[in-house]
């Protein structure tokens, strides 16, 4: 079957059957600059194409986190966790990835590799000795799905280290599947930059751990995707972990664990030590609730933030 027709069928399947808001496809080679072991062909040797699909975070889930952060309503964290960040979105993406793999294998005889995008975050993070991902950017997954979303034209790099979409800003959950099928590829979005950190400082200003520098500091990281280079803020993962995992009472909601880390810029050893004393929750699927912050995601003005959350009064934060 013609690759254009197959690509159209795949996109239609993901949007019509699985409720995705966006689908893009890039060649495996677009991710050749990823670290060894994290490239598509390291995982599926015959990989030719990377299919990426995204679903927006529910406005209602995001507004629950506003209530938690703006009004101190600790119980709202469970709403955000369930519907915004973890339980439902993760399973929705995992099931959609599974059904896409099943569809491609059955219909086109394709080789597939469904990628983990959430619940199975038990891989070793690359930069901390934590037993699993910590932080909002999903460090620790086998493949950087955010980079794949950028290569597939669904998003642009944000200073906050998220893939940022025109429609929803960084408030999108992405899933991904590798296949040996040759498909029709989307171009990266080379239009006007959605994120201009010279003018916008919302993520760096609101970050309670100073884990995201402002542009003027000159502290940036380079992402190489699809033969292009992008500058994003130098994200201090360990500092972010303190807020994201509620390692101090000031960040924790219902489950306060004490102040496990004093430093503003903790070392890997300090984070590992804190993890040994971190009370594991039996209330969560993965036992490490990680939804105590995400200010850099939920307050990013890109994606009609003002109309969706500001003008409606859902958030009282000025961005």
247: contact with ligand SF4 by CB under 6 A? no
Q: Chain centroid to CA 311: how far? A: 26
Query: For residue 135, is it left (φ>0), alpha (ψ between -120 and 50) or beta?
Result: left
202 belongs to the binding site for ligand SF4 (CB under 6 A): yes
Question: Is 101 among the residues that bind ligand SF4 (CB under 6 A)?
Answer: no
**57 in contact with ligand SF4 (CB under 6 A):** no
Binder among 84, 197, 266, 303 for ligand SF4 (CB under 6 A): 197
Shortest distance, CB of residue 192 to ligand SF4, whole angstroms?
A: 12
Q: Dihedrals φ, ψ of 163, to 5°?
A: -70, 130
Of 184, 174, 183, 243, whose CA–CA distance to 211 is shortest?
A: 243
Q: Is 298 in the site for ligand SF4 (CB under 6 A)?
A: no
22-27 and 163-164 strand pairing: unpaired
303 touching ligand SF4, by CB under 6 A:
no
22, 56, 127 from 124: Cα distances, Å: 29, 27, 9
The residue within the footprint of ligand SF4, chosen from 55, 68, 290, 295 (CB under 6 A), is: 295
- What token pair was written down for 239? 């500092």
Task: Among 78, 165, 294, 315, indicate the residue that binds ligand SF4 (CB under 6 A).
Answer: 294
Query: Would you count residue 93 as binding ligand SF4 (CB under 6 A)?
Result: no
Residue 52 forms beta bridges with which residues?
24, 176
Query: Which CB, 6 or 232, lies closer to ligand SF4?
Result: 232
Which region, judged by CB under 6 A, interacts with ligand SF4, from 139-147, 180-188, 238-246, 274-282?
238-246
Q: Which of 100, 117, 150, 240 is the binder for ligand SF4 (CB under 6 A)?
A: 240
Closer residue to ligand SF4 in complex, CB, 196/311: 196
Sheet holding 22-27, edge to edge: 22-27, 49-56, 172-179, 112-114
Site size toward ligand SF4 (CB under 6 A) is 26
Give the one residue of 23, 77, 300, 303 binding ligand SF4; rule: CB under 6 A: 300
CB of 88 to ligand SF4, least distance (A): 20
Rule CB under 6 A: say whether 152 interacts with ligand SF4: no
Q: How far is the CB of 241 from ligand SF4 (least distance, A)?
A: 8
Please tell me the distance from the alpha carbon of residue 69 to that of residue 81, in angstroms, as a whole number.
14
- Could you list the beta-strand ranges (E) of 85-225: 112-114, 156-157, 163-164, 172-179, 220-225
The distance of closest approach from Cβ of residue 205 to ligand SF4 in the complex, given in angstroms and rounded to an integer, is 9
Q: What are the φ and ψ backbone dihedral angles of 230, each rounded to 5 degrees?
A: -130, 140
Q: Which two tokens stand for residue 216?
A: 């003027």
Question: Which of 6, 57, 94, 244 is in the footprint of ligand SF4 by CB under 6 A?
Answer: 244
Residues in the site for ligand SF4, rule: CB under 6 A?
135-136, 158-160, 195, 197, 200, 202-203, 206-209, 211-212, 240, 243-244, 293-296, 300-302
């Amino acid at each position: 079957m013609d690759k254009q027709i197959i690509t159209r069928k795949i996109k239609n399947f993901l949007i019509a059957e699985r409720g995705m808001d966006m689908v893009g496809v890039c060649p495996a080679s677009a991710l050749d600059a990823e670290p060894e072991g994290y490239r598509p062909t390291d995982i599926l040797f015959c990989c030719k194409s990377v299919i990426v699909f995204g679903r927006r975070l529910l406005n209602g889930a995001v507004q629950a986190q506003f209530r938690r952060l703006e009004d101190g309503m600790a119980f709202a964290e469970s709403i955000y966790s369930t519907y915004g960040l973890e339980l439902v979105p993760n399973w929705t993406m995992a099931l959609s990835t599974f059904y896409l793999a099943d569809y491609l294998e059955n219909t086109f005889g394709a080789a597939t590799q469904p990628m983990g995008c959430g619940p199975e975050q038990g891989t070793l993070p690359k930069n901390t000795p934590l037993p699993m991902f910590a932080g909002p950017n999903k460090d620790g997954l086998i493949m950087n799905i955010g980079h794949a979303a950028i290569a597939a034209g669904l998003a642009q790099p944000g200073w906050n280290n998220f893939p940022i979409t025109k429609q929803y800003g960084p408030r999108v959950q992405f899933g991904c599947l590798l296949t040996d099928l040759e498909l029709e590829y989307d171009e990266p979005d080379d239009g006007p930059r959605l994120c201009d950190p010279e003018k916008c400082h919302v993520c760096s200003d609101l970050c309670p751990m100073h884990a995201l520098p402002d542009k003027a500091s000159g502290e940036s990281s380079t992402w190489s995707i699809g033969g292009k280079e992008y500058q994003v803020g130098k994200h201090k993962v360990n500092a972010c972990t303190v807020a994201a995992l509620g390692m101090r009472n000031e960040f924790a909601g219902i489950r306060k664990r004490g102040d496990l880390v004093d430093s503003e810029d903790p070392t890997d050893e300090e984070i590992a030590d804190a993890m040994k004393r971190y009370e594991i929750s039996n209330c969560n699927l993965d036992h490490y609730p990680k939804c105590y912050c995400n200010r850099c995601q939920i307050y990013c003005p890109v994606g009609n933030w003002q109309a969706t959350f500001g003008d409606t009064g859902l958030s009282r934060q000025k961005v």
